[in-house]
Structure formats: structure tokens, C-alpha cells
Chain A
Amino acid sequence: MSLGSFGRSIRRNLVVIAGLLTLAYLLLPNIVVTVFSFNDPKGRFNYEWQKFSTDAWTDPCGVADLCGSLALSLQIAAWATLGATVLGTMIAFALVRYRFRARGAVNSLIFMPMAMPEVVMAASLLTLFLNMGTPLGFWTILIAHIMFCLSFVVTAVKARVMSMDPRLEQAAQDLYAGPFQTFIRVTLPIAAPGIAAGALLAFALSFDDFIITNFNAGSTVTFPMFVWGSAQRGTPVQINVIGTAMFLVAVLCVLAGMMVGRRSRQKA
């Protein structure tokens, strides 16, 4: 191949090359995490490749407090997702469907938690909890998480509800569905993708939140706090194992979603 034709083929595939490079940029950290989960580090720090080992994978809870903090984080994320999704969906419907006083103000206030620097919100929440005499721990973390997840859920659901044709609900009513049936059979299924997107976002945000949690956790330790804490003293390989496992679960979820989508499209 001459140099000229090589240059031409590069030019022709420029978009593909740029795409692949961007993908590599996105995925490289995940690959490093995965590779180092099979490392057998010499000291306490898992920053240099020594030799292949599956020790950490066979004993993921081998480090004190790791699995406890992971369980706590999953629990908080689950409850925060539930709370934020239910409240956020209701707020989104209210904002789109009803005309009420201060609707515009509410609409922009909802965005505040997204725009505010997290550390400021964390500090002010702590002030609030201390002034109210609330003991810090599980409940203060949960309250804080629901609070900052709410605006993301509202935004996701609102976009979906706004694009919904109000005639669909009228059609349901015209076809003998009462208000409750209309909501269950038509409104909810059509809004579901927006609600699911909001819930996923809430789960991810809650699960890996560090700043707000750190301020309002008291002596409770969540998984991100555990990782941060152990990074001061050394990083156990198990952290990479948990990280890789979570990455795999996420990939599986996406694949499952794609399969379900394709099946329902092919069914016709």
C-alpha cells in the first residue's frame, strides 16, 4: 500500500477513527479497574502491576467493613430511588398538567439542587440537621439523597409527560376507562420510559454520592466513604473487584434492555 492510498483510507474513515478513540477514552478507566482487580500487590497500594491473582475475586468481603458499607449504600440507593421517583413523578405530572399559582417559580426552584455546588448544599444541610437536633446517620443520608435526586427525576419525567398527547387519555376515557384505569392502562405505561430513566439516574447518583453523604453521615460509612477512607491508608484489591462487578451488572442491564426492546419490536 502506497503512502497516498493509506492517507486516503484514513481520510475516508476519519469519523470511525474518531469514534473509536472517543470510546477508548470513555472505557479505558474501566479496563484499568478490571485489570487491577486481578493484581496481587506487594504493599498496601494497588497502583503497580505485580502478578495475576484471583484472590480478591474469591474473597470480595475479605477487607473489614467493605461489604457492610456496600450493603448500606445499596440499601440507601434503593430507598432514595423509590422516594425520589414517586415524589418526582407526582411533581412532574403536577407541573405539566395543572395550572396553579407560582407554577413558574416551582419549575425553576426544582432546578436549584442541580445548579447548586454540592459542597454548599452539603454544608447547609448539615447546619439544618444540627439545628433541628437530628442525629446524623442512615435517615439524614436518606433524606439528603431523596432531596438531590428529586430534581433529576422531575426533569426526566417532565420531558416525557410533556411529549404525551393528551388525546390518548381522552381516547381511554372515551373507551370506558375511568380515571384510575386511564392512569394505570395508558398514562403510566406511556410515561414509564421517563420514569425508568429518572429512577436509574437517582440510583446511580445516590449510590456514588460522596460529598453530601460525608457531611451528613455522622459515624455511618457508605461505600464511597469507605473507598475514600481506605485510599488514605492503602487500596485493597477488593475495591476493584466491587467496581468491576458493578460495571458488569450495568452492562448486563443495558444488554437486557436492548434485548427486550428488540423482541417487542420484532414481535410484530
Chain B
Amino acid sequence: MTDTNGDVRLSGISKTYGSFTAVHPLDLTVPQGSFFALLGASGCGKTTTLRMIAGLEEPTTGTVALGDQDVTALPPYKRPVNTVFQSYALFPHLDVFENVAFGLRRRGIKSVKKQVEEMLELVQLGEQVRKKPHQLSGGQQQRVAVARALINHPKVLLLDEPLGALDLKLRRQMQLELKRIQTEVGITFIHVTHDQEEAMTMADTVAVMNAGRVEQLGSPAELYENPQSTFVANFLGTSNLIEAEVDAKSGDEIIVKAADSKLVLPAARCSAPASAGGKVLVGIRPEKISLTHADDAGSIPEGRNRITGTIADASFIGVSTQYVIDSPVCDEFAVYVQNIERDGRLVPGAEVVLHWSPAHTFGLDANQDIDAGVESVEEEAAA
């Protein structure tokens, strides 16, 4: 099963509606058997891309290939892919059994009972066969939608925000369940979501989309640790971005100046061209930073990046405490500290030193919007 016969290959695929470009020409290969996520805010083109793979949307340019077969011209009912729709689109006039059997029956398969029962077992709905969709809970409807698609053994299963309508707890549970099912059946899953946590929990590979383009593609850890753009840095988790000037380049390290502080970052983790005197954005994730009271500044080991500041706000959230720090380099520095040993002096107004290992620092091109991706996260949270 290691051949590439089941890969999904999008070549130069794009979609425009009148003067609006939903998806810019895009090349993407999804390896067979992988769990792939398209992540982005609403309107970024991720669902349009998915619908073009399903055949529900005709690409303006480019081709869609499944393995060796070019399926661009095929209508949806002739493509070996199935979709789990947003809000499920279960047939309200058919019961669970007939919903799941629908695809098999349309392909002229007569004895469907055994297959349907096995599939309902897989999604743990064996008891509900004769219920109508409206009699099921949201989570159960979601399972029916998955079963209805999977029973056809598609080459690719497309999931369009499949967990969007569920409450948080159920969503977590279904994430693990979908992951289990995917591992069990070994079918390629392409999952569209705006929830970065969901994408990172489930997918092997995540493509972050923004304004009709793929910003960055990689494993969740790679995207999180090494964002290549401010959008990815802000959209996936939280990043502190500092505007800095390149001071010098020594070996595989870059030394930058921000306000009065000198910071060091590995050259390999800087995606921007760094020449002395040029500008870069220096990024650091909030949980990588340690917080020390200014009185103890002497105890901080040598060789760490350090910045001074004042605690503006502190919120205790159980496993950690989240601080907002005012500092000369960045006026709202986020710092998450694990609640292992809490220093009682770290209260709003206290003078502190922020310090972290240079290895955790990343560098970005300064020629981009430093707040890209921040608002979209907030919009989604409000929605």
C-alpha cells in the first residue's frame, strides 16, 4: 500500500466567482492513507477546495487527479470519493439504515444488510438502525454521516467541518473517534476545519490556508514550532512577535537588536533573508518563556534571551497562569507559566525579566502584517 496510486493530486487548481477569486492556483498532493487537514478562517477557500475534489464545484483552472486517474471532468456521482457534509445533510425521509445503505443501493448492490450492520457497529450505532435522523443526537447524526460515506470504501473521505455543530466536549470525543476510524480503515481523510486545535489533534499533515492560498504545509509540530509567516504564527496558537533589526550574523546564529535588548536566534529557524541592518520579526511562543522577578535577575543563566518588563495582567487558569507583560519591545507580551512553584511576587505591577532559550526563537520576514491571523481567530471564537 506504499505506492502512490491513491494520492490526491491537485495541479494548478483555482476557482473564481466573477471577479472574486476563492482559490488561487494551487498545487497540493495528499498521500494515500494520510489524515490531511485544510485549516483556515471562514472564506479562505478551504471548503471550495474540498468541493472541487468532491466534484460539487467545477475548477476554473487546473486538474484533480486520484492516483493515475484524472477526475476533473467527472460528475460527483462518478467519483470514488465521499463527503461528510457540514451539518451532515442526512436524508430526513430515510431511517439510519437506509441513509447508510444509500450509496450501496445506488451502485446496484442488492444484499446490503451485512455491510450496513458492520458499518454501524464501527461507528457504534448498532441499536439505532430504524430511527430517523431527527430522532438522533448531534453526535449520533455525525456518526451516521461518517458511516454513510465510509461504507462505500471511497479512495478519499472528505470531511467539511464535520464537528462544527457539536459542543466542545463531544467535539473532543469525536476527534479521537474519527482518528481511530481513520487508523482502522486506512482511507485517506481530507478534513476541512477552522479550529486549529482540531486540525493539530487529528491530522498528520496540515495545510494552513489564507485568502485562497496555502500559507504553509507541514506536520502540526512543524507548523507550530516553525511558522513561516505571521499568519501561521498567529493563527496556530499564540505568538509574541518582536520587531527587530539584524545586528550581526555569526556562524549559525543571528543576533538582533530590539529596543535595548540583544536577542539570539538560530539562522536555520529564520525564514527571512537576514543581512546586517535589515529588519526581521522575532517570534517566541508564550509557553517557552520563563518569568523571573527583577530582584532575582542575577540567577538567570547566561546565554538566554532576556527582556525586561512589567506585569500588566495575570489570569490564573488552573494548569497555568497567563501573564500579559508590558515591555519596551512589545506592549502586550503573552507568557504562560505552569503552576508548579508559584512566585507570590509575580502580581500585576511587578518588575520582571522574561527569558528563554535562543533555540526556541524563530524569525519571520518583517515585510508583512504583524497581526495577520489574529483577528480571524477572534472572529471564529465569537461566531
**B-contacting residues of A (Cβ < 8 Å)?**
165, 167-168, 170-178, 181, 185-186, 189-190, 265, 267-268
Contacts and interface: CB of A to CB of B under 8 A. Distances in A.
A168 B91 contact: yes
Which of B55, B78, B87, B103 is most buried by chain A, counting CB atoms within 10 A of its CB? B103
Contacts of B148: 175
Nearest to A176: B106
A175 B75 contact: no
A76 B176 CA distance: 62
Which of A168, A171, A186, A190 is most buried by chain B, counting CB atoms within 10 A of its CB? A171
Contacts of A174: 54-56, 76-77, 81-83, 85, 149
A171 B93 CA distance: 14
Given A170-B85, A174-B56, A174-B77, A268 B92 contact: no
A177 B91 CA distance: 13
A178 B103 CA distance: 11
Contacts of B90: 171
Contacts of A185: 102, 106
Contact of B130 (A175, A177, A267): A267
Nearest to A192: B93
A173 B149 CA distance: 12
B93 A172 contact: no
18 contacts: A167-B85, A167-B87, A171-B85, A173-B55, A173-B75, A174-B81, A174-B149, A175-B106, A175-B148, A175-B149, A176-B77, A178-B77, A181-B106, A186-B91, A189-B93, A265-B132, A267-B95, A268-B132
Interface in B27-51: none
A190 B106 CA distance: 18
A176 B153 CA distance: 12
B89 interface: yes
Interface in B65-96: 75-78, 81-83, 85-87, 89-93, 95
Given A174-B54, A176-B103, A267-B130, A190 B77 contact: no
Contacts of A267: 95, 130
A167 B89 contact: yes
B125 to A, nearest CB: 13
A18 to B, nearest CB: 33
A55 B82 CA distance: 68
Nearest to A178: B77
Contacts of A172: 91, 102
Q: Which 3 A-B pairs have the closest CB atoms?
A: A175-B103, A167-B89, A171-B89
A189 B95 CA distance: 13
Interface residues of B, number: 30
Contacts of B56: 170, 173-174
B114 interface: no
B219 interface: no
A117 to B, nearest CB: 40
A177 B99 CA distance: 13
B85 A176 contact: no
Nearest to B95: A268
Contacts of B102: 172, 175, 177, 185
Contact of B76 (A168, A170, A186, A189): A170
A168 B81 CA distance: 17
Nearest to A264: B132
A165 B89 contact: yes
B130 A268 contact: yes
Given A165-B89, A186-B91, A175 B152 contact: yes
A190 B95 CA distance: 13
A75 B149 CA distance: 47
A177 B81 CA distance: 13
B107 interface: yes
A173 B95 contact: no
Nearest to A193: B93
B129 to A, nearest CB: 9
Contacts of A268: 95, 130-132, 135
